Amino acid sequence: MRLLVVEDDRDLNRQISAALGEAGYAVDRAYDGEEGWFLGDTESYDAVVLDLGLPKKDGITVLSDWRRAGRSMPVLILTARDRWSDKVQGFDVGADDYVAKPFHIEEVLARIRALLRRATGHATSELVCGPVRLDTRAGRVFVDGNAVKLTSHEYRLLSYLMHHAGRVVSRSELVEHLYDQDFDRDSNTIEVFVGRLRKKLGIDIIKTMRGLGYVVAEPEAKVASDHS
């Protein structure tokens, strides 16, 4: 899962981004509204953390412009505790949730997990496919109850596929959603990570759809290709 943090307070931005990175997400950062708007308009993100009080372009305008352009990624807005009108305005232009400053990083993480679950149609923090269980809250994977140790990239890949279980995901989509903007994106590495995952999981829930991509599915489960 790939996230964007738009916050002009550099210390707070680093703090949020570091916590999200430790939780297993690929994270891009922006420090003003213009840069944040551009990244959100040109890159593929699974969710965005957006401060409202930004220089160059305020958060409400950034969010409004994204929504008018058809950008539908979930957005968690950050706002001062006493600015209730900002919260209302944020929801009216398309925010999905908010956190009032000052806040605990754990709350941001929990709200991001909830946004990602809702966006992909999951009701709980645990994703299950056959004997494989992925705990998004703890960032851990189990097979038949036994913990499986994965690298950060392997975890991101499995998490993205399990969030979108039953849907064929192309290599290009995986590249867009697994790596931050500074990573050397090579679609060939996806095949390497898939091979490692299959070996570590010991069960073939990741199916290769020749010419289309990959899908997580239980045996005999029907899958659907998404060309949108």
Q: Is 227 a residue whose pLDDT tops 50?
A: no
Tell me what the mean pLDDT of segment 47-73 comes to: 95
CATH topology for the 126-225 domain: Arc Repressor Mutant, subunit A (1.10.10)
pLDDT at 119: 86
Sequence-distant (≥ 6) Cβ neighbours of residue 222 within 8 angstroms: 166
- What is the tens place of the pLDDT at every residue in 155-209? 999 999 999 988 999 988 898 888 776 666 666 788 888 999 999 999 888 998 8
- For 148, phi then psi, to 5°, come to -120, 125
pLDDT at 222: 47
Q: Is 220 a residue whose pLDDT tops 90?
A: no
Which residues of the chain does CATH 1.10.10.10 include?
A: 126-225
pLDDT at 221: 46
pLDDT bin (cut points 50, 70, 90) of residue 226 is low
pLDDT at 152: 87
- What is the tens place of the pLDDT at every residue in 25-38? 999 999 999 999 99
Average pLDDT, the chain: 88
Determine the CATH number of domain 2-120: 3.40.50.2300
51 within 8 A of 7, measured Cβ to Cβ: yes
pLDDT at 228: 42
Which residues of the chain does CATH 3.40.50.2300 include?
A: 2-120
- What is the tens place of the pLDDT at every residue in 98-154? 999 889 999 999 999 999 988 888 878 889 988 999 998 888 999 999 999 999 889
Closest CA to 33 of 67, 58, 10, 13: 58
pLDDT at 186: 65
- What is the tens place of the pLDDT at every residue in 69-80? 999 999 999 988
Overall pTM > 0.85: no
